[in-house]
Each structure stands twice: as structure tokens, then as C-alpha cells.
Amino acid sequence: MRLWPRTIGFRIMAAGAMAIVGGYAVNFLAWFVVGVRWSFYTAIGYVIFLGFVLVIIGAVVAFVRYLTRPKPPTAAPVVVGPVAGWLPDPTDPTMLRYWDGTDWTGQTARRDP
């Protein structure tokens, strides 16, 4: 980082004449204000260029926010099995056995023909 000894200064050369003195940044500022031949079209060009730069900066900021946004939590997959009720017994096809939704119970019943 460079520290400038002075941001801007004025030196009176003669009665009514002044000079802007300072570092490189001040000299560029002086050239920009005094050295550019200002017209309506020059000003419009600078405004359009500034707008273009702001759009680019906005697009970069939006893209970075898009990439760093928090991800929504995802739910664990739900395993769906048979509903609780009387189902054919897996060991005896002539019987029904009660399924409680998670496991077979000891209750059995005869299957109607």
C-alpha cells in the first residue's frame, strides 16, 4: 500500500494563476477534469461506460451470492411398506397373518375360500 504524502495541493504561481500539485493520482484527476475535452457526447459516453461497469459488478456479486447461498435441507427418504392389516401369511398360503406395519404378529386367521 502506498501512502500519498498529500492528496491535493495548490501552488500559486503568479497573481490569478494556480497549479495543482500532488502525486500520480492527483495528476490523473487533474488530467481527467482539465485535459479531457468535455462535450455532451463525452459525458454520455462516460455515463454509459460507468453503467456498464456497474452492471458487470452487479452480475459478479449476484453470481457469487448464487454460488454461496445456503442449500435447503433435504428430508431423509421415507421407506413405505405395506399398510397394517390382515395379509396372506408368508409361511402358510391358507392362512392370514396380521401385519402391524413394521412386523408380523402371532395372530393368524383362516382364509375365506
Give per-residue pLDDT as tens, 47-106.
999 999 999 999 999 999 999 999 888 888 887 777 889 998 888 888 999 998 888 899
Whether 107 and 98 have beta carbons less than 8 Å apart is answered as yes
If pLDDT is split at 50, 70 and 90, which confidence band does 42 have? confident
Which phi and psi (to 5°) does residue 94 adopt? -85, -5
Tell me the three cell numbers of residue 70. Answer: 445456503
pTM above 0.85, yes or no: no
Say how far apart CA 75 and CA 105 lie, in whole Å.
30
